[in-house]
Amino acid sequence: MKMNRKERRAFLQQRLEEDPFLADWQLAEEFQVSVATIRLDRMALGIPELRERARSIASSTYSQLRALQGKEVIGELIDIELGKQGISILVASDEMVFERSHIMRGHFLFAQGNSLAVAVVNSEMALTKTAHVRYYRPVKLDDRVVAKAIVTEIDGNHYSVNVDSRVQDELVFRGTYVVVDVANRGGVDRD
């Protein structure tokens, strides 16, 4: 379905409100127009490029962190509600993938999930006690991994955190982490 400029711009604005981390090339494919057309539409609407949108969201989100510093979170933290949930995005870059296959090394998915699980704990210092993880399918170069963490239980100073990571709504990684609030010395190592 072909849209006129006014309709396309209205839908573009709506799509970027729903998912501010869509790249121009992804939007161009979705709207079946050129990347240059998307750039012109964004400029006309006063919507900054992807890096600026990410930086803006991240700066307001990182200020809420307690257990980690911003640079310690693997991926871009885009939402956090301490003690409840958080979301981060990680794009598979050349440095993260195997040279021959262009498949992301698993430790990056683990690190994204682990750092997000620690970040959602409402503590000055938190450490991972255990992790049970499963990889569902390979992540390839330039894939955008969206990790969502949810605190499922708080028992004293122990937080159970589930992390699901997806690429375009397809599950690629799942981790269940037990994170200990070591600032609250209610018993770091109880088994």
Predicted structure pTM score: 0.68
Q: Report pLDDT for 62.
A: 46
Q: Is residue 38 part of a domain?
A: yes
Q: Is residue 191 part of a domain?
A: no
Q: Report pLDDT for 159.
A: 94
Could you tell me the CATH number of the domain that includes residue 39? 1.10.10.10
Specify whether 163 is located in the same domain as 73: yes
Pick out the chain residues at pLDDT < 70: 1, 53-71, 185-191
Q: Is residue 127 part of a domain?
A: yes
CA-to-CA distance for 101 and 189, rounded, in angstroms? 41
Strands of the sheet with 85-91, listed across from one edge: 76-81, 85-91, 144-155, 158-167, 170-181, 126-135
Specify whether 38 is located in the same domain as 66: no
Task: Please answer whether residues 136 and 172 qualify as being in contact, where contact means their C-beta atoms are separated by less than 8 angstroms.
Answer: yes
Specify whether 41 is located in the same domain as 69: no
pLDDT digits (tens, 9 = 90+) for 49-60: 877 766 665 555
Specify whether 160 is located in the same domain as 68: yes
Specify whether 80 is located in the same domain as 22: no
Name the residue range of residue 153's domain: 60-181
Specify whether 69 is located in the same domain as 146: yes
Pair of tokens at residue 90: 């990680």
Task: Please answer whether residues 166 and 106 qualify as being in contact, where contact means their C-beta atoms are separated by less than 8 angstroms.
Answer: no
Specify whether 163 is located in the same domain as 72: yes
Q: Report pLDDT for 143.
A: 94
CA-to-CA distance for 101 and 86, rounded, in angstroms? 31
The helix/strand/coil state of 94 is helix
Q: Report pLDDT for 185.
A: 61
> What single string gives the DSSP state of each residue in 125-142?
SEEEEEEEEEE-S--BTT
Q: Report pLDDT for 188.
A: 46
Q: Report pLDDT for 77.
A: 84
